Amino acid sequence: MSSPSRNELVRRPFEGLPNEQDLVAMRQLIPAATMSARTTEEYGAVDVELATILPMAWPAVRRTDGTVTVGVQAPFPGGDLSRGLGQAIRQAVALEPGSPITSVTLEDDSPRLQDVLDLSGDFAIRVQDTFEFWLDPSAERTGEIEQAITQANDSIMPTRPVEGLPHAYWVDAGPKEHVRWVLDADEDRVIDAVTRLHARRESALCEGAKYVGSFRAEGLSIPVWDLPKGAGVEAAEAEAEAFRARFEEALTSTEPLTAMERRARGGIVARQVTLR
């Protein structure tokens, strides 16, 4: 896959990777999660763990066993997140085992994730309850390390995938609960689908839920619903299949919007937010 120049803005950096939607969720929505991958033969055929974040927001670390873990939520230079992540992996592979990457330096030939990783894997996501994945299996569990892990764990907002709604995640954000759904669909069509359901009073994901808007992140649309406090992920899962069916039907509709739907669409568009 061709690589853009180091400063060129790429609005959909994970396009072409398996499980793009969950990679976007790892970057934007989930506090603790991992995903297994492997580099190509050209880049050493090294096992790679994509993680949400690492200690000190390190971009990557070379484990003592020679594997590489890369932090998807770390800051990366340039306008292409995939290029920054690919370069972090390349730098980490060149390190002695047991060493972190503290900063990424882009070069003219810095590769993208699409170039570095073997794309034949399934890239299955694993949402984690703790940051135990930070620990190198051979590391001594000192009191200082245990304290750091405990403090990090305390910052995790409970997050769960919503069964029946692929790439959707429920989160308990304290005063509110949300479901955020990462969609690989044209943004205008997503808005139209929500509009059609909203005009029919069918845009609630489950009983008591309310559609509150959507945002675009890493090139994908992410609608958001508020759930009643205490509902839990079970409330969303109970109606997920039925909601998905009517949403997908609305998404594929080619009928022009009615006058009522056009009025509803104006309010929905006003709630859109863009994250690069």
What is the Cα–Cα distance from 127 to 16, expressed in whole angstroms? 22
Give the predicted TM-score (pTM) of the model: 0.93
Report residue 115's pLDDT band, with 50, 70 and 90 as the boundaries.
very high
The full DSSP string for 137-158 is: TTS---HHHHHHHHHHHHTPPP
Q: What is the pLDDT of residues 32-67, one digit of tens each?
A: 999 999 999 999 999 999 999 999 999 999 999 999
pLDDT of residue 268: 81
> Where does 158-272 sit in CATH, by number?
3.30.1360
Q: Strands, DSSP E only, in 92-208?
A: 99-101, 125-127, 159-161, 168-172, 177-181
Q: In the chain, where are the structural domains located?
A: 18-155, 158-272
